[in-house]
A and B are shown apart, each in its own frame.
Chain A
Amino acid sequence: MNSSKPAGAKGLVAEVVRKQYFWGIIAIVLLLAVNVFKDPSYLAISISPTDGNLVGNLIDILRAAAPVLMIAVGMCLVVATGGIDLSVGSIMVVAGAVSMELLAGSNAPDSLGAAFIAIVVALAISGLLGAVNGVLVSVVGLQPFISTLVVMLAGRGLAKVITGGQNTSAVNEPFRWVANGYAIGIPVVFVLAVLITIAVGMLVRKSALGLMIEAIGMDAKAARLAGLNRRGLLMTAYISSGLLAGVAGIFATASVMTVDVSRTGYQLELDAILAVVIGGTSLAGGKFNITGAAIGAILIATLDKTVVFLGVSSSATPAFKAIVIVALCLLQSERVRALFRQRRIQRPTGTAATKKETVSA
């Protein structure tokens, strides 16, 4: 896709290639190519004759990416502080449980107000759970791994209490529209996810917030000496992560209008961590890259969809995914790439033919 750009953009291309997430983009393109190989019409996007919306596999991927995108962005901020948030999957199910329970209780299939209340309350509770994480980490001083593990376990329990252990479903058109609707032919859920991602990105990059978060992630002591409010920054990161997980939970449950207390958001924290790492944010904290996390999220969705499209059998699915991820991580590793580069440099001195080729190129 980069080759199609004019030569004038060479500098830009070179910059993108240097980025960690470049390999994520390559992986997405390769996966799509594999799908196209199986079915040449894979990339085709058509306009549905009945409602004028765009339909196609790419659209499905974008829609499936939305929840992961949300939690990946939140995770990115937390990871940048040198922490980790294992509770995002559980916060998703709590948000889903709260909204489904409220909607089922209000029993207003077309009420915009009911949907609005459900969303606000679900987000408020998600934010509160994020704040619990924040307090445990910044005030109590527990390890982020342990604090968020506590909320992860408690969250799923809380969801079970809220729904009475049942998988609650509800009917509400406006709420359902959030995950299944279209705005000018494009899935609303993806538009929302992108807007939120951009908003978060602008907020942290156009202000000093991003720098400050990186600072406490790189060296907490130096940051404190520089006068940064570590507690406030940690709270901000964890509350944002909680809120974004709440959004993801709403997306996930609105898609089927059912909350599955044992499955909604189950193990999605791992997907989020993966997306963040693919995007080039180090788990050791410090520098973070929201664009990278977004690309990681889209890659995960592409991978999930590819597995189904190719008809990989259920038992082989985890292995298939693992191979793709391992290959990607190897490509991203400086050391492995250096190894390849060395071999490439050595080879031309060996044979004259290849040397000529390199010269002519």
Chain B
Amino acid sequence: MFAKRRFISALALTAAGALTLGLAACSAGSGSEPAASGGSGDLTTIGFVAVGPEGAWRKANEANIQETFSKDAGFDLKYAPAANNDQKSQIDAFTSFVDEGVDVILLSATEGSGWEDSLERAKEAEIPVVLIDRGIEPNNTDLYVTRIAPDNIAVSEGVANWAVKTFPNGANYFTLEGPAGVSVVNERNEGWDEVVGADPKLVKLGAQTANWSTEEAKSVFETVLKSNNNNVQLVFAQNDEMGLGAVQAVEEAGLTPGKDVKIATIDGTKNALQALADGKLSFVAEYNPLFGETALEVVKKVLAGEKVESSIVVPSDTFDSPEAASTALPNRKF
């Protein structure tokens, strides 16, 4: 028993080690060119108020930022993940960065509201703040320099456009949503409804939450198939996991995913691309977490005193064929 647990922790350590090595290799690769320019002066200190452990997407996003703002590139990045997704711990970290007098603060807020006072303080101290992924509420653009994030609405519009194009003769579709009321869910619905709602040939059978989970999505979708006598041609799954659950429900009902029922998902994780390459998913829209380079450019501009847009949309890819997925798979980081 004890040996087993030790084996598992050893396994975890090895995995972590392998990951670190991999990351180190990446940063060495990407960091080699700007090193020449950054070598002239002192390191620029960056305070990164981050979300911390949340899921594969966040992990890829924050690792990417950390490896982009490397010492080789001329930066000293101080990474402060939130304790248990707690906003209080983020505000504490933010305040101490301001007191310390870092050059730039990057902020991924766990919660949108309640940032005014902290941002005011940073403004008084003349420390520019760049929002990473998450926005603030109310969205007062005076308080920060810019927000860099992929656009949920645009991403789901991408899926919707594919759906309209793929089903010129119409189809019945079902939406697998994340938890009700979450902003991501609302935005992904908004983009989808805008395009698909304008096409009367695409008939909405319904929408149900599967709480981002593969298992729940499978259970929900097997019942949806039964209640509609398998007459469902399209599934819009708002994340990859739920899409993969729908695939299994379709297979179990004796239908072929990709042929009888086409499933489109958002996120673009490795597992989803693998399923797309195998022909089980039909469309995967990426919600791109890797925008460290964009952030780096913005920070350089800000430090040089140039103006930047108050909102920068990170371009996200879409994958609509097994071939596209197979090409992208080997370099997939998340």
A residues with a Cβ closer than 8 A to B are 38-39, 48, 50, 56-57, 60, 64, 98, 101, 105, 121, 124-125, 128, 160-162, 164-167, 169, 180, 252-253, 255-256, 258, 260, 262-264, 266, 304-305, 307-309, 311-315, 317
Rounded to whole angstroms, the CA-CA distance of A234 and B250 in the bound complex is 44
Known pairs A57-B226, A309-B226, A314-B208; A258 contacts B56 (CB<8 A)? no
Q: How far is the CB of A39 from chain B (nearest CB, A)?
A: 7
Known pairs A166-B56, A263-B212, A313-B207; A308 contacts B227 (CB<8 A)? yes
A105, B11: Cβ atoms closer than 8 Å? yes
**Residue of B5, B15, B59, B206 touching A311 (CB-CB under 8 A):** B206
A315, B181: Cβ atoms closer than 8 Å? yes
**A255-B219, A260-B214 given; 8 more Cβ-contact pairs under 8 Å:** A39-B227, A57-B226, A180-B252, A258-B241, A258-B244, A260-B212, A314-B208, A317-B208
**Residue of A125, A256, A304, A315 touching B218 (CB-CB under 8 A):** A256
CB < 8 Å A-B pair total:
106
Interface of A is mostly: helix
Tell me if B245 is interfacial: C-beta within 8 Å of chain A. yes
Rounded to whole angstroms, the CA-CA distance of A64 and B213 in the bound complex is 15
**Residue of B8, B177, B208, B220 touching A162 (CB-CB under 8 A):** B8
Residues of A within 8 A of B212 (CB): 260, 263
Residues of A within 8 A of B241 (CB): 167, 258, 260, 263
Tell me if B224 is interfacial: C-beta within 8 Å of chain A. yes
A165, B252: Cβ atoms closer than 8 Å? no
A169, B15: Cβ atoms closer than 8 Å? no
**Residue of A101, A160, A315 touching B8 (CB-CB under 8 A):** A101
Closest A residue by C-beta to B220: A308
A167, B56: Cβ atoms closer than 8 Å? yes
Q: How far is the CB of B271 from chain A (nearest CB, A)?
A: 7
B208, A308: Cβ atoms closer than 8 Å? yes
Q: List 30 A-B contacts (CB under 8 A).
A: A38-B227, A60-B219, A60-B226, A121-B4, A128-B1, A161-B12, A162-B8, A166-B56, A167-B214, A169-B271, A252-B215, A253-B215, A255-B215, A256-B215, A256-B245, A256-B248, A258-B215, A260-B214, A263-B212, A263-B213, A263-B216, A266-B213, A307-B208, A308-B219, A309-B223, A311-B208, A313-B206, A314-B179, A314-B207, A317-B209
Q: How far is the CB of A293 from chain B (nearest CB, A)?
A: 21
Q: How far is the CB of B95 from chain A (nearest CB, A)?
A: 27
Tell me if B233 is interfacial: C-beta within 8 Å of chain A. no
Q: How far is the CB of A197 from chain B (nearest CB, A)?
A: 21
A315, B180: Cβ atoms closer than 8 Å? yes
Rounded to whole angstroms, the CA-CA distance of A353 and B11 in the bound complex is 79
Most A CB within 10 A of own CB, among B53, B216, B220: B216
A308, B56: Cβ atoms closer than 8 Å? no
Rounded to whole angstroms, the CA-CA distance of A266 and B12 in the bound complex is 23
Residues of B within 8 A of A180 (CB): 252
Tell me if B16 is interfacial: C-beta within 8 Å of chain A. yes
Rounded to whole angstroms, the CA-CA distance of A164 and B55 in the bound complex is 10
A57, B223: Cβ atoms closer than 8 Å? yes
Closest A residue by C-beta to B221: A308
Residue interface mask B177-188, A partner, CB < 8 A = 1 = 101110000000
B219, A64: Cβ atoms closer than 8 Å? yes
A314, B59: Cβ atoms closer than 8 Å? no
Q: How far is the CB of B207 from chain A (nearest CB, A)?
A: 6
Q: How far is the CB of A255 from chain B (nearest CB, A)?
A: 6
Rounded to whole angstroms, the CA-CA distance of A356 and B52 in the bound complex is 73
Tell me if B254 is interfacial: C-beta within 8 Å of chain A. yes
Residues of A within 8 A of B215 (CB): 252-253, 255-256, 258, 260, 263-264
Closest B residue by C-beta to A97: B8
Rounded to whole angstroms, the CA-CA distance of A22 and B208 in the bound complex is 31
**Residue of B59, B213, B226, B245 touching A165 (CB-CB under 8 A):** B59
Rounded to whole angstroms, the CA-CA distance of A137 and B208 in the bound complex is 40
Residues of B within 8 A of A56 (CB): 226
Most B CB within 10 A of own CB, among A160, A258, A307: A258
Closest B residue by C-beta to A308: B223
Q: How far is the CB of B235 from chain A (nearest CB, A)?
A: 14
A256, B214: Cβ atoms closer than 8 Å? yes
Tell me if B157 is interfacial: C-beta within 8 Å of chain A. no
Rounded to whole angstroms, the CA-CA distance of A317 and B227 in the bound complex is 17
Closest A residue by C-beta to B59: A165
Closest B residue by C-beta to A304: B219
Closest A residue by C-beta to B56: A166
A305, B223: Cβ atoms closer than 8 Å? yes
Residues of A within 8 A of B70 (CB): none
Closest B residue by C-beta to A117: B4
Rounded to whole angstroms, the CA-CA distance of A60 and B8 in the bound complex is 35
Residues of B within 8 A of A315 (CB): 180-181
Residues of A within 8 A of B206 (CB): 311, 313
Closest B residue by C-beta to A39: B227
Tell me if B211 is interfacial: C-beta within 8 Å of chain A. yes
Q: How far is the CB of B278 from chain A (nearest CB, A)?
A: 12
Most B CB within 10 A of own CB, among A98, A169, A305, A314: A314
Residues of A within 8 A of B8 (CB): 98, 101, 162
Residues of A within 8 A of B226 (CB): 56-57, 60, 309
Tell me if B67 is interfacial: C-beta within 8 Å of chain A. no
A60, B216: Cβ atoms closer than 8 Å? no
Residues of A within 8 A of B252 (CB): 180
Rounded to whole angstroms, the CA-CA distance of A214 and B303 in the bound complex is 71
Residues of B within 8 A of A50 (CB): 254
Tell me if B222 is interfacial: C-beta within 8 Å of chain A. yes
Closest A residue by C-beta to B248: A256
Known pairs A101-B8, A165-B59, A256-B244; A60 contacts B223 (CB<8 A)? yes
Rounded to whole angstroms, the CA-CA distance of A180 and B248 in the bound complex is 10
Residues of B within 8 A of A101 (CB): 8, 11
Known pairs A121-B4, A167-B241, A309-B223; A262 contacts B214 (CB<8 A)? no
Known pairs A180-B252, A315-B180; A60 contacts B271 (CB<8 A)? no
